[in-house]
Amino acid sequence: MKIKRLGLAAAAFVLWSFTYQAGPAAADQYGVIKLEGSVNPIVAEYIVKSLEDAQARKLQFVVITMDTPGGLMNSMREIIKAILASDIPVIVFTYPKGAQAASAGGYIMLSAHIAAMAPGTEIGAMHPVSPFMNFGEKQGEEKGQENVMAKKVLNDTIAYGKSLAQKRNRNVNWTEKAVKDAISSTYLEALRLGVIDLVADDMQDLLKKLNGRRVVMDRKTVVLATAGAGAVTFEMDWKQRMLNFFADPQVAFLLFIIAAAGIGMEIKSPGLVVPGVVGAIALFIFLMAVRVLPINFAGLALIVLAIVLFILELKITSYGLLTVGGIVSFVFGSMILFDSPLPGGQVPLKSIIAVVLALLAFIFIVVRSILRVHRGKITTGTQGIIGETGRVIRDITREGKVFVHGEIWNARADEEILKNEKIVVVEVEGMTLLVRRADDAALQPR
């Protein structure tokens, strides 16, 4: 019995040893997280969860490859808080070549334990933006008395950037200029100025340069050993990928325009079906995106007002005033549609202008054509025969027959109309025409 137990124990040990040697230990592995596109709540959730998973698996370190034009400040802060609280080193790598770490991306780079950039990349432009805030310095008596809210936002973002730079021993003066004056730097300038720690051509080059590097954490110093380390890639699940696509401010903006145009067409011309279905689907997806994006309902109201003014232009002669008002309302509404003081979290002006032109073309060409058709005389079906002229082919005392539009019809009239006299169709009742004598009726010999 003892021999049998010893045999089972030995077999289990051999099996465990084989499994253990089949792959690298967690300490010989590192995580890879991809940040691409605008920084939004879905991206923040994905990165924070991935960092937590990497720490739970006791990976050696994590590399966040980044290419972003910026995004939402709240989402950016969530990512930075997760990086600062991480128990393992977090390397932020602006990659691939030609990528950018702009706006929110610049702050995330400053928070990293190690900041690296690939050739052809840039960092900076961290200045807050808003169509209704003047972030510039005022001189003279105006200084300190105008745009208090703008100064609060600017000073807060400057202090936040400086605190991150101080925490990681990076260039504080550059950080202040990047926020205050919106300066940007190339990868070589950033390295020379002490904004980043190293430049690497690709992931393989990055791992080579990280090998043996010391990283000072809050309570310990970690020496990175990257030789032979295996990568553990953290991917978004299908739900996060879908929500991330629709959570892009530009996509959400276009969805709302499609919803407004489609539903508006269906209300104006019931029965078209396709515009109503497309508009309803777009509205549903837009409402789903609104749950993760900070929508400014004042901006939404201005866009709706603009569409109403465009449609009224088709019915009211305003000599273009309604159109001008609609354009102004649409542009301002689009600029403030999303509450974010950082670039990348708003709809670009060029996209707004393109949509304005497309919307005007749609309304003044497609919608005008539909309205013209509805206002025009019906020429098909039984209703299309009203107003048509014809001649009597059997005397009408109370009832008779007429020849109208190449067809013989039963006819009824309130007067006696003789054969060959001209008539005009007044109404249609089933298959019988109500007629009257035409004003220019000519009595022909019977």
Give CA separation, 300 vs 100, 297, 338, 427, 430, in Å: 30, 5, 9, 48, 49
Residue pLDDT, tens place only, 395-412: 888 889 999 877 888 998
Other C-beta atoms lying within 10 Å of the C-beta of residue 209: 18
Which residues form the domain of 81?
Answer: 21-240
What per-residue confidence (pLDDT) applies to 357?
81
Domain-terminating residue out of 187, 209, 240: 240
Is residue 14 in some structural domain?
no
Query: Is residue 443's pLDDT more than 70?
Result: no
pLDDT in tens, 2-23: 455 555 555 554 444 443 333 4
HSE of 143, CA atoms in CB hemisphere, 13 A: 4
Residues 398 and 301 in one domain: no
Same domain as 94, residue 186: yes
Minimal CA–CA distance to 126: which of 84, 168, 174?
A: 174
pLDDT, mean of residues 335-344: 65
Tell me: do 108 and 220 sit in the same domain: yes
Question: Residue 175: its pLDDT value, please?
Answer: 96
CA–CA distance, 55 with 260 (Å, rounded to integer): 46
- Structural domain contains residue 265: yes
- Output the pLDDT for position 18: 42
- Asked whether residue 368 falls in the same domain as residue 389, the answer is no
What confidence score (pLDDT) does residue 380 get?
52
Amino acid at 220: K
Q: Is residue 324 part of a domain?
A: yes
Residue where a domain terminates, one of 240, 268, 297:
240
Query: HEC states along the chain?
Result: CHHHHHHHHHHHHHHHHHHHHCCCCHHHEEEEEEEECCECHHHHHHHHHHHHHHHHCCCCEEEEEEEECCECHHHHHHHHHHHHCCCCCEEEEECCCCCEEECHHHHHHHHCCEEEECCCCEEECCCCCCCCCCCCCCCHHHCCCCCHHHHHHHHHHHHHHHHHHHHCCCCHHHHHHHHHCCCEEEHHHHHHCCCCCEECCCHHHHHHHHCCCEEECCCCEEECCCCCCEEEEECCCHHHHHHHHHCCHHHHHHHHHHHHHHHHHHHHCCCCCHHHHHHHHHHHHHHHHHCCCCECHHHHHHHHHHHHHHHHHHHCCCCCHHHHHHHHHHHHHHHCCECCCCCECCCCHHHHHHHHHHHHHHHHHHHHHHHHHHHCCCCCCHHHHCCCEEEEEECECCEEEEEECCEEEEEECCCCECCCCEEEEEEEECCEEEEEECCCCCCCCC
Domain identity same for 49 and 146: yes
User: pLDDT (tens digit, 9 = 90+) per residue, 175-194?
Assistant: 999 999 999 999 999 999 99
Asked if 89 and 213 sit in the same domain, the reply is: yes
pLDDT of residue 59: 96
Residue 15 lies in a domain: no
Same domain for 159 and 224: yes
Q: Is 227 within the bounds of a domain?
A: yes
When divided into structural domains, the chain yields a total of 3
Residues 347-386 have pLDDT tens digits of 777 778 888 787 777 766 765 665 565 555 555 556 667 8
Give the lowest-confidence range in 75-79, 170-174, 284-288, 336-340: 336-340
How sure is the predictor about 431, in pLDDT bands with cuts at 50, 70 and 90? confident
Same domain assignment for residues 225 and 286:
no
Residue 9 lies in a domain: no
How would residue 40 be classed by pLDDT, with cut points 50, 70 and 90?
confident
Question: Furthest-apart CA pair in the chain: how many Å?
Answer: 131
Do residue 386 and residue 371 come from a single domain? no
Binned at pLDDT 50, 70 and 90, residue 206 comes out as very high
Residues 287 and 176 reside in one and the same domain:
no
Q: What is the pLDDT of residue 312?
A: 78
Of 375, 397, 421, the domain-final residue: 375
The residue behind tokens 């003279």 is 140
The pLDDT of residue 54 is: 96
**Can you give the CATH number for the domain in which 96 is found?**
3.90.226.10
pLDDT exceeds cutoff 60 at 132 = no
Average pLDDT taken over every residue of the chain:
81
pLDDT, residue 78, reads: 95
Retrieve residue 93's tokens.
């790598």
Asked whether 310 and 360 are in contact (CB, 8 A), the reply is yes
Residue 418 has pLDDT above 70, yes or no: yes
d(CA 105, CA 405): 73
- pLDDT confidence band for 339 (50 / 70 / 90): low
Q: Is residue 306 part of a domain?
A: yes
The CATH number of whichever domain residue 412 belongs to comes to 2.40.50.140
**44, burial (CB in 10 Å: exposed 0-12, middle 13-18, buried 19+):** buried
Residue with tokens 């260039």: 171
Q: Which of 84-93, 169-178, 292-301 has the weakest average pLDDT?
A: 292-301
For 55-78, what is the mean pLDDT? 93
| Residue 80 confidence (pLDDT) above 60 | yes
Cα-based torsion angle of the residue sequence 343, 345, 348, 354 in order, rounded to the nearest 10 degrees: 180
Domain assignment present for 5: no
Q: Which residues contact 388 (CB under 8 A, 6 or more apart)?
A: 404, 405, 424, 425
Rounded to whole angstroms, the Cα distance separating 50 from 52 reads: 5
224 and 132 within one domain: yes
pLDDT at 15: 47
- The more confident residue out of 370 and 143 is 370
Could you tell me if 172 and 139 lie in one domain? yes
- Give how far the C-alpha of residue 105 lies from the chain's centroid of Cα atoms, to the nearest Å: 19
The CA-to-CA distance between both ends of the chain, in Å, stands at: 128
